[in-house]
Chain A
Amino acid sequence: GAVVSQHPSRVICKSGTSVKIECRSLDFQATTMFWYRQFPKKSLMLMATSNEGSKATYEQGVEKDKFLINHASLTLSTLTVTSAHPEDSSFYICSARLAGVDTQYFGPGTRLTVL
């Protein structure tokens, strides 16, 4: 149980385009989802926390207008990287917190490459 999926697993896009990444909790309802990015050989860095039906809370230094997060349902959150640049190339991972449980389950990650 507690499976989280991400789509796509890999995406390559041109500089200036926007990319949407989906995060789904497959077998549970997630009141909270988290978005992380991870650079090579580095640990995960929390970008934002999103609660279903409300605006996401962004970590310091993360641009809200660049990384748009939508958490419209209890099983789906999306991260849109707008006007992507090569420096946005990274591994993006989402996680979901099961309602009433103080832990999180991670998705498999999305590798974004911006050319």
Chain B
Amino acid sequence: KNQVEQSPQSLIILEGKNCTLQCNYTVSPFSNLRWYKQDTGRGPVSLTIMTFSENTKSNGRYTATLDADTKQSSLHITASQLSDSASYICVVGSDNFNKFYFGSGTKLNVKP
């Protein structure tokens, strides 16, 4: 069964600290994995995308890693800011075109 699981469900950190969000998937065939940031009441915005051959991708303070062998991905946020407070969603695209599998998201709350 094609599934995407994210952990933790929610996370509270202090401003300036780092954090890592996890995404495990069982999607096959695999095409790509995207991390999105969704602010409350807004649509998701893409942070990174990785294909099978890519191990890491950075976008400013966001760094995503992918281990295609273990089917795990992580999103590392460095020096967190208050504006990082949002839900982070992991989405895995399948080679079965138009099939995307969503994780349930991690709710991050950055406190001053």
Bitwise interface map of B from 45 to 69 toward A, beta carbon under 8 Å scored 1, else 0:
1100100000000000000000000
Q: Does A54 contact B (CB under 8 A)?
A: no
The reply to whether B43 and A43 form a contact with Cβ atoms under 8 Å apart is no
Give the docked Cα–Cα distance between A49 and B100 (Å).
Answer: 11
Q: Does A85 contact B (CB under 8 A)?
A: no
Measured as residues with beta carbon below 8 angstroms from the partner, the interface class of chain A is 20 to 34
Of A6, A49, A103, the residue contacting B34 (CB under 8 A) is A103
Bitwise interface map of A from 81 to 97 toward B, beta carbon under 8 Å scored 1, else 0:
00000000001010101
The reply to whether B89 and A107 form a contact with Cβ atoms under 8 Å apart is no
Bitwise interface map of A from 76 to 115 toward B, beta carbon under 8 Å scored 1, else 0:
0000000000000001010101000011111111010000
The reply to whether B46 and A105 form a contact with Cβ atoms under 8 Å apart is yes
Q: Does A32 contact B (CB under 8 A)?
A: yes
Give the docked Cα–Cα distance between A105 and B44 (Å).
Answer: 8
**Nearest B residue to A41, CB-CB:** B107
Shortest Cβ gap from B106 to chain A (Å): 11
Q: Does A26 contact B (CB under 8 A)?
A: no
Shortest Cβ gap from B11 to chain A (Å): 14
The reply to whether A43 and B104 form a contact with Cβ atoms under 8 Å apart is yes
Shortest Cβ gap from B13 to chain A (Å): 19
The reply to whether B32 and A91 form a contact with Cβ atoms under 8 Å apart is no
Q: Does A44 contact B (CB under 8 A)?
A: yes
**Residues of chain B within 8 A of A34, CB atoms compared:** 100
**Residues of chain B within 8 A of A41, CB atoms compared:** 107
**Residues of chain A within 8 A of B98, CB atoms compared:** 32, 49, 97
**Residues of chain A within 8 A of B31, CB atoms compared:** 102
Shortest Cβ gap from B8 to chain A (Å): 15
Of A4, A43, A91, the residue contacting B103 (CB under 8 A) is A43
Q: Does B36 contact A (CB under 8 A)?
A: yes
Bitwise interface map of B from 18 to 44 toward A, beta carbon under 8 Å scored 1, else 0:
000000000000011010100001111
